[in-house]
Amino acid sequence: MDTLLTRKDILSIPDELCPMMVFSFGIGSPIATAIAMKEHGLYNHFMWLLSPGMLATQDVTFRMMPVENYMEKHALKFVYNKMWQTEDRAKLREALDAGLAKPWYRRLYDPLAIVGQALNLEWLQVPGIDICSDKAKHLKLVDRNYDLKHPSPTNINNWMKKQKGYAVYGRYRLD
């Protein structure tokens, strides 16, 4: 059984486990529900817990945001890889930091990809601009088995379940 996390538990996730993958579902959001239903999954958003309490998330722009901002209206699932070494985590942080350092117009959420996802044309994207789940591409740096192209959060979640080393740290559910 997965561990149910409290607010305090989430804010106390050790830095040694970061970056950690985070899946979310926006409770009560028609868009979140539509995405989850279309993908036959539970999650509509993918992001990275880059450091304790701070998410690297593809919002309107790819940016840092306190995890607490997601705790009011989102169910969250935290996943880490037990096999990653310090060097692996450093590679991921470096790649995510490089993405966060890009000019704002290169960190925008890809509006064309939304249309592509809706039409099952996942390849339909503006080159060089991402949607949230495209940020899983950094897994290639530390996992040679990562082979997803233009995945949805559900695709990433299902892929991790079939790979060695990935484990659910815990889940956060609203009461």
Radius of gyration, CA atoms only, the chain: 15
Examine residue 54 and state whether it is found in any structural domain, yes or no.
Answer: yes
Which residues in 90-99 are b (16+ Cβ under 10 Å) and which e? ebbbebbeeb
pLDDT at 40 over 80: no
Q: Quick check: pTM over 0.85?
A: yes
CATH number of the domain bearing residue 93: 3.90.1720.10
Boundaries of domain holding 64: 7-172
Examine residue 2 and state whether it is found in any structural domain, yes or no.
Answer: no
Count CB-CB contacts under 10 A for residue 124: 16
Examine residue 80 and state whether it is found in any structural domain, yes or no.
Answer: yes
Rounded Cα distance, 83 and 92, in Å: 14
Per-residue pLDDT, 43:
85
- Which residue from 73, 77, 58 is spatially nearest to 136, judged by alpha carbons? 58
Per-residue pLDDT, 109:
86
CA angle 159, 161, 164 (to 5 degrees): 95
Q: How many domains does the chain have?
A: 1
pLDDT classification of 41: cutoffs 50, 70, 90: confident
pLDDT at 37 over 90: no
User: Looking only at Cα atoms, what is the longest distance across the chain?
Assistant: 42
pLDDT at 31 over 90: no
pLDDT at 83 over 60: yes
As a whole number, the mean pLDDT across the chain is 89
Examine residue 1 and state whether it is found in any structural domain, yes or no.
Answer: no
